[in-house]
């Protein structure tokens, strides 16, 4: 669309990378941002907690960095090796690679729907990954950071493979609980250093399989030797990037980790007895190579190497990102259960190679997102998983907004359907959607879509007036000051990866726009009586909408595109201060609705979604105590078996509920009856009692004659009701 009149100044617009021009590469002498999210494990369908914990959060920060015109690379992919994949493939009768390819496609579709902007979405089962992983292993070996240890392990004789802890169960040696897991007893809480401590250990995949104990030798990384260098790096990194405390590191930078046992980090085995994984490379030590023959590298050793290896599938110049510590800042996003691997294990690996790796600059971890008052469970169909979100018919922008507004940054949070609906209707629709639509429609209707204002106005920073003696000048001064203060808060929150507060601040910018229109009484009267003031208010509002298009871009990119389409403007970069950049004479596009209301009469929609995604464990109406405003999600989610134990009792309860509904309906109908109808009903009732008394011999009379009178009265009542109904329908 032509007719644009936008201020021409360097840096105003967002630099949008064209993939056909080659890969994104860092620029010397500039700030460059490298972003990763924890690689999702390939054979799990990601649920909303997984998505908000890593991939979606990283996407928001990547998009934010791009609004600053900072060279930014966002890398992720599926983590494909390990015991779980090999066992799952065995169960499904396919090769591990076939299984991974199937699930990689599923993950890809989910993240595309959620509009994640990976520069490269890859996988770990590649030649590049094998080479870089083996190179890291060999560098660590060359520098003396490995030793061999032999220990007894459980072995499945039928499948011919060693069993990881998670695939072993048996009898607890302490409390004799028969379903203890390979690493812990859920009944008494006893933990085991090895599943061999269980009495009668058995294969969890098939209890009929024979399990034995065999010795196995593994290469252990000397974290104990690397700890001094790790702590030296960590103390510098956490101060430079202002790390907060997390699941592994205290405010003082001390490592608090169960694996340490109070004596510091211990050697950790980084090889496994599997077929599916990166083969342990030959080191040249004949005895050691023989001991490691047929073994693969532990998945948690190779998984973080997936970040550089996936980058290597994106560009041959991957080392410009990953071996460039002076010019590149590495931001990593994950759930709290992955913090150890990214602050202790992975950095130790990189330090031990003595190569100039780009090290962690800032880690952004989250707590857990729960589904109501329980955990997501794929096996029990509890909760919304990535491939289910679209089934609700709600667009990705609404999902992104709600998840990010609930991002569990400091404590666990819960997904509640009532809040999901309220977020759309009361926040997105009533705040952001209302502001944008009101302004654009007004200019469309009253100015033929042309932005009003003084001819020849050059725009620039919105400077508060020194003379605030007039009401209009004071309103504008307060408006500009408030916008600049909130914009500064937004930038500070986003820089610190406090994405939840960043989103809340973006919404406060929109709310301030609504307040500005209200303060200035934008309507037809203002246009007729104060045309210059009306034009100034609209010019400021249009440019606030332009600012909103960029502050919301990281959170809701499609919504941002919708705003830009209505403004008929290109994507802009994030300014440091509010400025007038869309100038008078600019031609706007047509107004369109950014959001649609979710109809939820009497909570019907939320209950429907709760039942749809509650599996067989949720009975929405039975949740106690009720949540906000009587919504059921707030209480503890019960199991159906705990509620409907007695079928007869359940039937009686249902009948009682039906009777209750009928009584309520009868009461309502009674209020609407005419005097004639009530009089006839009374006569029918009295005549019926008379007939009954005569038949019982309590009262004298002819039962047949009185019964005939009762029938006549009933016919008269039926005729009256018919006439009343016809009269009601004709109104």
Distances in whole angstroms, Cα of residue 10 to Cα of each of 584, 631, 657 = 20, 52, 69
Q: In a 3-state reduction of DSSP, which class is residue 265?
A: coil
Question: What pLDDT score does 550 carry?
Answer: 98
Q: Considering the chain, what is the average pLDDT of its residues?
A: 88
pLDDT at 718: 80
Average pLDDT over every residue of 11-24: 96
Looking at residue 94, its pLDDT comes to 94
- Please give the pLDDT value at position 628: 34
pLDDT at 569 over 90: yes
Average pLDDT over residues 229-235: 93
Instruction: State the Cα torsion 351-356-361-363 to the nearest 10°.
Output: -50
Distance between CA atoms of residues 346 and 359, nearest Å: 9
Residue 650 has pLDDT above 70, yes or no: no
Mean pLDDT of 57-76: 98
**Residue pLDDT, tens place only, 526-541:** 999 999 999 999 999 9
Burial (CB count <10 Å: 0-12, 13-18, 19+), residue 194: middle
Q: What is the pTM of this model?
A: 0.81
Please count the other Cβ atoms lying within 10 Å of the Cβ belonging to residue 378. Answer: 13
Q: What angle do CA 686, 688, 693 make, to 5 degrees?
A: 95
Backbone angles phi, psi at 665, to 5 degrees: -65, -40
Query: If pLDDT is split at 50, 70 and 90, which confidence band does 722 have?
Result: confident
610-614, 644-648, 650-654, range with greatest mean pLDDT: 610-614
Per-residue pLDDT band at 616 (split at 50, 70, 90): very low
pLDDT of residue 402: 97
Listed range (382-391, 416-425, 494-503, 554-563) with the worst mean pLDDT = 382-391
Q: Residue 646: which pLDDT band, with cuts at 50, 70 and 90?
A: very low
Please report the pLDDT score of residue 256 as a whole number. 72
Q: pLDDT band for 702, please (50, 70, 90 cuts).
A: confident
pLDDT for 576-590, tens place per residue?
999 999 999 999 999
CA 160 to CA 157: how far, in whole Å? Answer: 5
Burial zone of 342 (CB within 10 Å; 0-12 exposed, 13-18 middle, 19+ buried): buried
Higher-confidence residue of 688 and 15: namely: 15
Helix (H) or strand (E) holding 291: helix 286-291
pLDDT tens, position by position, 110-128? 999 999 999 999 999 999 9
- Banded pLDDT at 244 (limits 50, 70, 90): confident
Helix (H, G, I), strand (E, B) or coil at 418: helix
pLDDT band at 637 (very low <50, low <70, confident <90, very high): very low
Question: Cβ distance 539 to 451 under 8 Å?
Answer: yes
Question: Between the CA atoms of 404, 408, 410 and 416, what dihedral angle is there, to the nearest 10 degrees?
Answer: 110
Whose tokens are 């109908």? That residue is 669
């Amino acid at each position: 669309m032509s007719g644009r009149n936008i201020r021409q100044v360097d840096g105003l617009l967002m630099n949008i990378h064209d993939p056909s021009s080659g890969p994104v590469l860092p620029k010397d002498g500039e700030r460059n941002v490298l972003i990763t999210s924890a690689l999702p494990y390939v054979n799990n369908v990601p649920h909303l907690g997984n998505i908000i914990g890593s991939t979606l959060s990283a996407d928001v920060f990547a998009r934010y960095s791009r609004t600053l015109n900072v060279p930014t690379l966002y890398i992720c992919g599926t983590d494909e090796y390990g015991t779980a994949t090999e066992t799952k493939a065995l169960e499904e009768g396919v090769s591990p690679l076939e299984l991974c390819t199937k699930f990689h496609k599923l993950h890809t579709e989910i993240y595309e729907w959620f509009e994640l902007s990976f520069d490269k979405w890859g996988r770990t089962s590649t030649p590049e990954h094998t080479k870089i992983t083996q190179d890291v292993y060999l560098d660590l070996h060359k520098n003396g950071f490995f030793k061999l240890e032999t220990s007894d392990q459980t072995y499945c004789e039928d499948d011919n493979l060693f069993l990881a802890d998670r695939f072993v169960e048996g009898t607890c040696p302490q409390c004799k609980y028969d379903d203890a897991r390979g690493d812990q007893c859920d009944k008494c809480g006893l933990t085991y250093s090895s599943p061999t401590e269980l009495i009668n250990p058995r294969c969890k995949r098939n209890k009929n399989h024979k399990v034995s104990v065999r010795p196995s030798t593994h290469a252990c990384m000397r974290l104990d030797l690397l700890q001094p260098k790790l702590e030296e790096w960590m103390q510098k990194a956490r101060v430079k990037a202002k790390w907060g405390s997390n699941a592994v590191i205290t405010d003082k930078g001390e490592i608090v980790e169960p694996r340490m046992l109070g004596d510091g980090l211990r050697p950790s085995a980084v090889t496994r007895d599997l077929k599916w994984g990166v083969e342990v490379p030959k080191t040249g030590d004949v005895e050691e190579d023989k001991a490691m023959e047929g073994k693969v590298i532990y998945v948690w050793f190779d998984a973080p190497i997936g970040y550089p290896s996936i980058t290597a599938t994106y560009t041959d110049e991957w080392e410009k990102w990953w071996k460039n510590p002076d010019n590149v800042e590495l931001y990593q996003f994950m759930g709290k259960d992955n913090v150890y691997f990214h602050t202790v294990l992975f950095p130790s690996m990189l330090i031990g190679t003595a190569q100039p790796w780009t090290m962690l600059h800032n880690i952004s971890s989250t707590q857990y997102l729960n589904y109501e008052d329980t955990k997501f469970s794929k096996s029990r169909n509890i909760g919304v998983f990535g491939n289910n979100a679209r089934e609700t018919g709600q667009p990705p922008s609404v999902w992104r907004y709600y998840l990010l507004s609930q991002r569990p940054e400091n404590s666990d949070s819960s997904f509640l359907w009532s809040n999901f609906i309220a977020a759309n209707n009361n926040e997105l629709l009533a705040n952001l959607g209302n502001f944008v639509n009101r302004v654009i429609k007004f200019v469309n209707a009253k100015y033929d879509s042309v932005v009003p204002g003084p001819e020849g106005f050059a725009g620039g920073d919105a400077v508060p007036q020194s003379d605030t003696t007039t009401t209009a000048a004071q309103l504008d001064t307060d408006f500009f000051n408030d916008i600049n203060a909130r914009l500064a808060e937004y930038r500070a929150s986003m820089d610190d990866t406090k994405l939840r507060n960043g989103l809340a601040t973006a919404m406060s910018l929109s709310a301030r726009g609504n307040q500005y229109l209200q303060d200035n009484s934008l309507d037809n009267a203002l246009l007729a009586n104060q045309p210059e003031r009306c034009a100034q208010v609209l010019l400021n509002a249009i440019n606030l909408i332009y600012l909103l298009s960029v502050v919301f871009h990281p959170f809701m990119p499609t919504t941002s595109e919708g705003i830009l389409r209505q403004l008929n403007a290109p994507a802009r970069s994030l300014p440091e201060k509010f400025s007038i950049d869309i100038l008078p004479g600019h031609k706007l596009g047509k107004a369109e609705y950014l959001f649609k209301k979710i109809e939820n009469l009497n909570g019907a929609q939320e209950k429907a979604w709760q039942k749809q995604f509650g599996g067989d464990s949720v009975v929405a109406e039975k949740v106690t105590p009720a949540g906000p405003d009587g919504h059921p999600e707030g209480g503890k989610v019960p199991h159906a078996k705990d509620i409907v134990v007695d079928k007869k009792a359940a039937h009686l309860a249902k009948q009682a509920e039906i009777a209750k509904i009928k009584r309520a309906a009868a009461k309502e109908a009674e209020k609407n009856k005419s005097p004639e109808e009530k009089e006839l009903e009374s006569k029918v009732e009295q005549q019926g009692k008379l007939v009954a008394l005569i038949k019982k011999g309590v009262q004298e009379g002819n039962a047949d004659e009185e019964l005939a009178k009762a029938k006549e009265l009933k016919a008269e009542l039926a005729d009256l009701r018919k006439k009343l109904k016809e009269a009601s329908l004709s109104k």
